Chains A and B, each alone.
Chain A
Amino acid sequence: MIKNKIYKILFYLGMIMLIIPPIFVFIWMLMTGLKTGVQNIEYPPLFIFKPTLENFRAVFQQHNFLKYLINSFIIATVATIISLFIGLPAAYSIARYRQGMLSIGILVARMTPFVSYLLPWYIIFRRLNLIDTFTAMITTHLIITLPMVVWLMIAFFEGVPKELEEAALIDGCVRSETFLRVAIPLSRNGIFTSAIIAFIFSWNQFLFSLVLSGPKTRTVPVAVYNFMSYGKIDWGGIGAAASIIVFPVLVFAFIVRKRIVEGLTRGALKG
């Protein structure tokens, strides 16, 4: 009995040790954002202090962060929606007709280093005068979101029982109707999950925006990166901006927590 209890206490001590590192970085991020400039460069580092929202205010007022948030939101949303529109039928077809070759093609998109898309796109967009436009940003973000959506949805569509679709066919539906009226409604959860995962990946994307965006379409990862290169490093600003960027991602990740691991491993398990 006592031995059991000690064992339990030790286990939970271990558990705490194992969740401190992941949590600590996020806490430090928020604390950096809530400290004044002077507090941030104090040594030893301050753990207890009077928090200020000054940095958060400055991030929005001086650095125009709202605009970058809106840019990121527009790009990620539009890229995700387009990916759903063209990705869902493709995933359905791959799931129903076992089109293995197509799924390999999608894996190639996941494997290729991003720079190898970036250079041709940079050259083309420069010629077409499309650098720093939403067209350029959304097009390149499709490279991330479209394969993601297709990969995730293949599994969900495979899970839709064929019998239900056959019943609909007997009731007089045509095949494309069974897709719209049976497969899509039945995989609502899957569509929601893959949309959120695609959105997160687009939101986090740094490299494409670094090269192809400008003042008009700059996304939040590039905006926060630029905090570093203003000469004097504004630590409080970085902490505040990083917290603002990461917050929606954590909320979304929390919503799809049950499926995110399954979703991320699928590509490798099947390939």
Chain B
Amino acid sequence: MKKLKEKIIHFVDNHMHIVFPAPAIITLFIIVIFPIIYNIYMSFNKWKIGLGSPNFIGLQNYIDAFYDPRFWNGLKVMLYFSGLSLSIEIILGLLIAVYFNKEFKGSNFVQTIYIFPFAATPVAIALIWCIMLNPQIGVLNYFLNLIGLPGSLWVSSPKTVILSLVLVDVWKWTPMVTLIVLAGLKSLPKDPYEAAIIDGANGFQIFSYITLPLIRPVLITALTLRSLDNLKEFDIIYTITQGGPGIASETLYLYSYQTAFKFFKAGYGSALIIIVFLLVLLFNVVMNKIRYRSEVL
């Protein structure tokens, strides 16, 4: 009996690089890899959940997507929403980080406050924004009126719905970008700044010729990280608009969800999800290339 125990310990010791990760790998295979494979398989089938069995139809779902105006609408909304929110978050995050990049009383307080928006439960936050964005009695229109501006229809109008959702996303995620960039700024070398001040460079010159090039890898990291979540933003959009009015704010990701779980078209839904996945992957590969290049230079 004792011998067996020793044998096991001995085996674990000699094969630790396999035994230790094995449970996690097996679990991840079952909960992550297997569903993805199943999803790819399903995307070549036509199947309404609960009706009959899957029918193999090859690439038909992908061809259907090409002729589906709602697919193109979803792609357009996704690019519009993500492009705008990501750019604003990066630029605003950078500017605020530069502003806070100094020793001051309350620095810890600010950094703690800036954690709250992105840590807080997205659904809860989205619902509060829903209340604040109400065109009739919402507090945002009240503020606009106070400074003499007309109120907006916010998410009730197809014209302003995406901009409103961008506002919520920017509110939630800019603080995270700020904190990441701030951490990056604090770790920059001091010498170039001292040299620049001796040479008589002004604030703007220091920012654009020293800070910006040095902080670029961090910005790209922040952008990559944000894009992982942003391109598949679900909670905020689904809670506030469910893709409406009409389909004015229905991103491709939301459309894939609706196709699978509202219309129960498992095959077509799968194909749409695969396309979203490929877009996220493509974006990440491109970002990685850019980051690699900026690190080499």
**A residues bordering B, Cβ < 8 Å?**
11-12, 14-15, 18-19, 21-23, 25-26, 28-29, 32, 41-45, 85-87, 89-90, 92-94, 96-97, 99, 102, 105-106, 108-123, 126, 139-140, 142-143, 146-147, 150, 174-176, 179, 200, 203-204, 206-207, 211, 220-222, 224-225, 227-228, 235, 238-239, 241-242, 245-246, 249-250, 252-254, 257, 260-262, 264-265, 267-269, 271
> Which residue of A43, A112, A252, A264 has the most chain B CB atoms within 10 A of its CB atom?
A112
Q: List 17 A-B contacts (CB under 8 A).
A: A25-B171, A45-B138, A93-B16, A109-B32, A119-B269, A142-B31, A146-B27, A175-B12, A176-B9, A228-B239, A238-B128, A239-B128, A245-B121, A257-B111, A260-B115, A264-B176, A268-B221
Within 8 Å by CB of A44, from B142, B225, B280, lies: B142
Docked complex Cα distance between A220 and B123 (Å): 10
Bits for B14-53, please: 1 = Cβ < 8 Å to A, else 0. Answer: 0011011101110110011111101100100000010000
Assess A43 versus B132: contact at CB under 8 Å? Given A86-B24, A86-B27, A105-B28: no
Question: B110: CB under 8 A from chain A?
Answer: yes
Assess A25 versus B128: contact at CB under 8 Å? Given A97-B17, A113-B277, A257-B112: yes
List residues of chain B with CB within 8 A of the CB of A45.
137-139, 142
Docked complex Cα distance between A46 and B200 (Å): 52
Q: What number of B residues sit within 8 Å (CB to CB) of A?
A: 87
A120–B34 CB distance below 8 A = yes
Other contacts beyond A117-B31, A261-B180: 5, CB < 8 A: A86-B24, A105-B28, A113-B253, A113-B277, A268-B222
Instruction: Name the segment of B80-88, B189-197, B255-263 touching the other chain.
Output: B255-263
Once A and B bind, how many residue pairs between them come within 8 Å at the CB atom? 262
List residues of chain B with CB within 8 A of the CB of A238.
127-128, 131
Shortest Cβ gap from B145 to chain A (Å): 8
Docked complex Cα distance between A222 and B123 (Å): 8
Assess A264 versus B234: contact at CB under 8 Å? Given A93-B20, A116-B39, A174-B9: no
> Which residue of B19, B27, B120, B121 has the most chain A CB atoms within 10 A of its CB atom?
B121
Question: B122: CB under 8 A from chain A?
Answer: yes
Assess A224 versus B127: contact at CB under 8 Å? Given A99-B21, A111-B228, A206-B234: yes
Assess A115 versus B273: contact at CB under 8 Å? Given A29-B128, A227-B127: yes
Within 8 Å by CB of A122, from B127, B132, B261, B284, lies: B261
**B residues bordering A, Cβ < 8 Å?**
9-10, 12-13, 16-17, 19-21, 23-25, 27-28, 31-36, 38-39, 42, 49, 96, 99-100, 104, 106, 110-117, 119-125, 127-132, 136-139, 142, 171, 175-176, 179-180, 183, 221-222, 224-225, 228, 232, 234-235, 238-239, 253, 256-257, 260-261, 266, 269-270, 273-274, 276-277, 280-281, 284, 288
